[in-house]
């Protein structure tokens, strides 16, 4: 966030997939429904200058890769997966699957399935990571982030349901989620 604006620098390699995604009628549908964060290209902001101003932030990119700046509306009171009850994690999982499935016919797929791609506006989940989408072969039956979805959504929800354990303790504090081996020991 900079001067009250939510801005994101987009690298050159991501521009083609982002453009296909943003110009998709499916994206507009989800934005209109409030399920996907609105994204506008901030043409008045130089991406390279903003990248330098914000610092590298561990992105692994250099300023020559900065191509454009996206602006999103502010989410007034963001909450994060480690703060959510199981019901919110379930709603985020449903939205992730719904959005991922809706884009397949357009040759666009989710490249990750992380609960941190979701914020909530009140009780309503909103997918906010528009760079989680990439062009893909619509005939490819493999969903690459399936294992991540299982570790970050399904296993925590199953453990919570079976044992009443808060899903955030073992599953969402680490970057990789809950391992199946851990669930088997339960």
The reported pLDDT for the residue numbered 75 is: 83
The reported pLDDT for the residue numbered 173 is: 45
Residue 13 is assigned to a structural domain of this protein: yes
- In terms of DSSP H, where are the helices of 44-123? 47-54, 86-104
- pTM of the complete model: 0.84
Residue 49 is assigned to a structural domain of this protein: yes
The reported pLDDT for the residue numbered 44 is: 66
Residue 1 is assigned to a structural domain of this protein: no
Contacts of 33 (CB under 8 A, 6+ apart): none
The reported pLDDT for the residue numbered 23 is: 87
The reported pLDDT for the residue numbered 171 is: 47
Number of other residues whose CB lies within 10 A of the CB of residue 90: 19
Is residue 141 within 8 A of residue 109, CB to CB? The reply is no
Residue 89 is assigned to a structural domain of this protein: yes
The reported pLDDT for the residue numbered 83 is: 87
User: What is the C-alpha separation between 63 and 152, in angstroms, rounded?
Assistant: 32
**Total of domains in the chain:** 1
For the chain, residues with pLDDT lower than 50 are 58-60, 170-173
Instruction: Encode pLDDT of 106-130 as tens digits.
Output: 889 999 999 999 999 999 999 999 9
Which residues form the domain of 40? 6-185
């Amino acid at each position: 966030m900079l001067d009250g604006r939510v801005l994101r620098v987009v690298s050159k390699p991501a521009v083609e997939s982002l453009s296909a995604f943003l110009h998709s009628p499916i994206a507009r549908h989800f934005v209109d429904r409030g399920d996907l964060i609105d994204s506008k290209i901030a043409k008045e902001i130089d991406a390279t200058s903003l990248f330098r101003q914000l610092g590298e932030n561990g992105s692994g990119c250099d300023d020559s890769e900065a191509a454009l700046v996206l602006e999103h509306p502010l989410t007034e009171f963001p909450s994060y997966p480690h703060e959510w009850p199981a019901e919110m994690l379930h709603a985020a999982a449903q939205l992730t699957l719904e959005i991922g499935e809706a884009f397949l016919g357009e040759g666009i797929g989710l490249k990750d399935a992380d609960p941190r791609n979701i914020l909530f506006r009140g009780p309503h989940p909103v997918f906010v990571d528009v760079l989680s989408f990439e062009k893909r072969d619509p005939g490819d039956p493999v969903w690459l982030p399936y294992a991540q979805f299982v570790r970050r959504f399904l296993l925590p929800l199953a453990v919570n349901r079976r044992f009443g354990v808060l899903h955030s303790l073992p599953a969402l504090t680490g970057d990789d989620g809950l391992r199946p081996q851990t669930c088997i020991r339960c």
